[in-house]
Amino acid sequence: MILPKSNRLTPAQLAEVTGIVAEFGCTIQPIIGALRTIYAIVGDERDDLMINRLEGLDYVERIDRIQSPFKLMDKRSDLASHRIRLGGVTLGEELFVIAGPCTIDPKNPNYFYESAAAVKEAGAQMIRGGVWKPRTNPYTFQGDTRSMDILLEGSRRTGLPVDTEVMEEAHIGVALEAGVTCLQVGARNALNYSLLRAIGRAVAGRETAVLLKRSIHMGPVNEFISAAEYIAAFGNPNILLCPRGTAPGLDGYRNHPDESITPLLKEKTWAPVVVDPSHSVGKAAYVPASALAAVAYGADGLCLEAHVSPSHGIGDDPKQALTPEGLAETIRQARALWRLRRGLTAG
């Protein structure tokens, strides 16, 4: 990783470093951080001669040789000062809440519009809504591209940015073209490295954020952060890590709630953690307690399924979605706990 003395390298300086690393079979990938652009050396960057030549350039402050499988997402990286701003909130400065239906019903768009209005009213800063859906049962509703218009109309009506899951490469361009602010990578695709690469490539140079769910089958914490690195490596580090429960170990919860992973993530990465209690526990009645547990463990945000009339929803909504009242109360309590926790931490 090349850290320049100024905010970014001039074109001539970039050409010079690109030429040097090319001699050693490497390429340069600029990563735009909040304070300065840093330059990842892609390839085998262990050659001492290459490092010495780069360190000898008078416009280079230093070369970071973090020995980590996720050198951009690592807490020791220069990107640790990177701040992600979404829906008027700087992540880490205020509890960030994404909420909305699991699945947009293209036949009944008013449910989405009314849910979006309720989400705004409850104080969330971003609306979620599934256009394309990963369903365990192949005979159930799989989503519909036509829901993209409904999602964006919900955004226009409320003035809030939107999040939706992309399941395959073809979805990425459609979502970005439509104006989706946050691309969601679902639990089933969190280990799909070619999709992660395609997302990284597509969001590079944009303000777009990516909400990366933790896979149902992911093991070590490093595996999760490394998946984020696949995206960041292309130049856009606006990544939110989203624990959402792992393979079920308890009889009763849909998945095994994993909000307690948050402090472990925070020891290793600077990336904000936005926990999804809805998929963790899988039942609306358990969601508020799981949301508070996530905040108690240090989450920077929550992603909550909510619907104006859960029993009329599709996908996960009938069982998992909070009602508008439930959502408003959960957000109110979560914010109060977040402030309390910050006060305790600060004191």
Say if CB 236 and CB 205 are below 8 A apart: yes
Give the whole-angstrom CA distance, residue 254 versus residue 287: 11
Q: How far is the CB of 133 from Mn ion (least distance, A)?
A: 8
Among the listed residues 251, 249, 225, the one whose alpha carbon sits nearest the alpha carbon of residue 239:
225
Query: Taking a C-beta distance cutoff of 8 angstroms, is the pair 120, 160 a contact?
Result: yes
Q: Does 105 bind Mn ion (CB under 5 A)?
A: no
Total residues contacting Mn ion by CB under 5 A comes to 2
Q: At what angle do helices 109-122 and 324-346 cross, to 10 degrees?
A: 30
Instruction: Provide the minimum distance between the beta carbon of 197 and ligand PEP in the complex, in angstroms, as a whole number.
Output: 19
Question: Which CB atom, from 102 or from 233, has the smaller least distance to Mn ion?
Answer: 102
Q: Does residue 276 belong to the site contacting Mn ion (CB under 5 A)?
A: no
Q: In whole angstroms, how close is the CB of 154 to ligand PEP at the nearest point?
A: 16
Q: Which residue in 217, 264, 262, 208 sits closest to 84, CA to CA?
A: 208
- Residue 187's binding partner among ligand PEP, Mn ion, none (Cβ under 5 to 8 angstroms by kind) is ligand PEP
Site membership for Mn ion, residue 316 (CB under 5 A): yes
Of 34-42, 90-98, 100-108, 177-185, the segment contacting Mn ion by CB under 5 A is 100-108
Where are any strands of DSSP class E within 214-255?
A: 239-242
Least distance from ligand PEP to the Cβ atom of residue 134, Å? 5
Find where tokens 């400065």 sit: 93
Angstrom distance (rounded) from CA 186 to CA 18: 35
Among 1, 84, 98, 102, binds Mn ion (CB under 5 A): 102
Residues listed for the chain: 347
**Site for ligand PEP, rule CB under 6 A:** 102, 130, 134, 186-188, 213, 244, 279, 316
Nearer to ligand PEP, 28 or 167 (CB): 167
We find the least distance from the C-beta atom of residue 103 to Mn ion, in angstroms, to be 7
- Measured distance CA(255)–CA(246) in Å, rounded: 5
134 binds, among Mn ion, ligand PEP, none (CB under 5 to 8 A by kind): ligand PEP
Please give the residue ranges that form the binding site for Mn ion (CB under 5 A).
102, 316
